[in-house]
Amino acid sequence: MGLFDFFTQEIAIDLGTANTLIIHNDKVVVDEPSIVAQDRVSSKFIAVGKQAQKMHGKTHEDIKTIRPLKDGVIADFHAAEHMIRGMIKMINPGKRMIQPSLKMVICIPSGITEVEKRAVRDSAEHAGAKDVYLIHEPMAAAIGIGIDVEEPMGNMIIDIGGGTSEIAVIALGGIVCDKSIRVAGDEFTSDIEDYMRRQHNILIGERTAERIKIEVGAALVDLETPPDEYAVHGRDLMTGIPKEIKVSHVEIAHALDKSISKIEEAILSALEMTPPELSADIYKTGIYLAGGGSMLRGLDKRISMKTKLPVHVAEDPLRAVARGTGIALKNAERFKFLIK
């Protein structure tokens, strides 16, 4: 190990629409919501991650909260750069005499354009990275789940994140066919907001809708172990007074039905594009689910019913992509054909 290696810090980043995770030395060192808060008057960024999340939906006119990523890609360049920089600072809060040079591997959606790729690279470089490598999300998820991606064996990975659902068939260390749709966790959240407004005449915010999704979110009406009803607080649209109502998983399953159907259609379309030899493999190995969206109750069962294939959910779906990115970084020599 040379002197320069000592001053190089290698980090893997899962830059997500909803959450950003950073892996350093095989450990998840940062796991924060992808959000920043900015002072409108001075244009200074005053909070990043959990601190900014607490302010979301509760700000006055001098403060605004920004989610720099939309649909898996950078929508606000300036805010993204500050968010990445702020999160890198969280890795080692102690001040150092010498700032180590950073080598980063960042995962990106498979349906990303060259312009969007450039934006990720530039944001990382502005945040202080010397070397930036990119890896596709489904590939990172496959490595994180523990699939041997270099085998001549077909595997189907579905990564349902915050902004995009990535569906990919992987074999021989490459993506054979993929489908990326912008229907995922955020879409589920806004479906719940709309449903509460239409069905119950109650106005709720994004954070409350997110909580409902976590507490009673479901993809199927009949679950083996249904969750208890959840008390929702919001503003009555008729009177304008705050009120409470109870919602069950059955209602949420109905509210999310349309969006889940779109994901099912995308899965079927990806299966149609798969070469026959790989289809034969997928029949044996089944479909792997990763990403926060795959934690929706009954989603695996619903996809299995639709495709007649076995569906496996990754053991820690939220961190599968980040873990895979970390493994690719650690074994950069072995996976050099994956990280560009």
DSSP symbols for 137-179 = HHHHHHHHHT--TTSS--EEEEEE-SS-EEEEEEETTEEEEEE
In-domain check, residue 162: yes
Residues 289, 157 within the same domain: yes
Based on the domain organization, do 167 and 193 belong to the same domain? no
- Does one domain contain both 82 and 110? yes
pLDDT of residue 3: 47
Give yes or no for a contact between 30 and 84, defined as CB atoms under 8 angstroms apart: no
339 located within any domain: no
Number of domains in the chain: 3
Q: What average pLDDT does the segment 209-231 reach?
A: 95
Of 210, 238, 255, the residue that ends a domain is: 255
Give the per-residue pLDDT at 51.
94
Q: Answer yes or no: are the C-beta atoms of 33 and 292 closer than 8 Å.
A: no
Task: Check whether residue 294 and residue 266 sit in a common domain.
Answer: yes
Q: What is the mean pLDDT of the chain?
A: 91
Q: Is residue 146 part of a domain?
A: no
Same-domain pairing of 29 and 175: no
Max avg pLDDT among 78-87, 172-181, 249-258? 249-258
Determine the pLDDT at residue 325.
Answer: 93
Instruction: State how far the alpha carbon of 39 is from the alpha carbons of 62, 90, 244, 309, 312, in Å.
Output: 6, 21, 33, 50, 44
Each residue of 262-291: pLDDT tens digit? 999 999 999 999 999 999 999 999 999 999
Residues 74 and 202 in one domain: no
Do 295 and 159 have their domain in common? yes
Residues 199 and 133 in one domain: no
Q: Identify any residues that bridge with 8 across adjacent strands, giving them in sequence order.
A: 101
Same domain, 49 and 107: yes
pLDDT value at position 1?
42
Would residue 145 count as lying in a domain?
no
Containing domain of residue 283, as a range?
151-183+256-314
Residue 200 maps to a domain: yes
Dihedrals phi, psi of 192, to nearest 5 degrees? -65, -40
Query: Of 227, 255, 283, which marks where a domain is finished?
Result: 255
Q: Is residue 41 part of a domain?
A: yes
Long-range contacts of 90-98 (CB under 8 A, 24+ apart): 90/22, 90/29, 90/30, 90/32, 90/49, 91/9, 91/11, 91/22, 91/24, 91/29, 91/30, 98/7
- Indicate whether 250 and 261 sit together in one domain: no
Check: pTM over 0.75? Answer yes or no.
Answer: yes
Q: What is the CATH number of the domain that holds 221?
A: 3.90.640.10
Assigned domain for 336 exists: no
Report if residue 291 sits inside a domain. Answer: yes
Cα torsion angle, 245, 246, 250, 252, sign? positive
pLDDT > 70 fraction of the chain, expressed in percent and rounded? 96
**Arithmetic mean of pLDDT, 93-117:** 80
Q: What is the pLDDT of residues 20-44, one digit of tens each?
A: 999 988 899 999 999 999 999 999 9
6, 103 contact by CB (below 8 A): no
96 — pLDDT class (breaks 50, 70, 90): low
pLDDT surpassing 80 at residue 200: yes
Indicate the pLDDT class of residue 336, thresholds 50, 70 and 90. Answer: confident
Question: Does 115 share its domain with 249?
Answer: no
CATH number at residue 274: 3.30.420.40
Same domain, 158 and 115: no
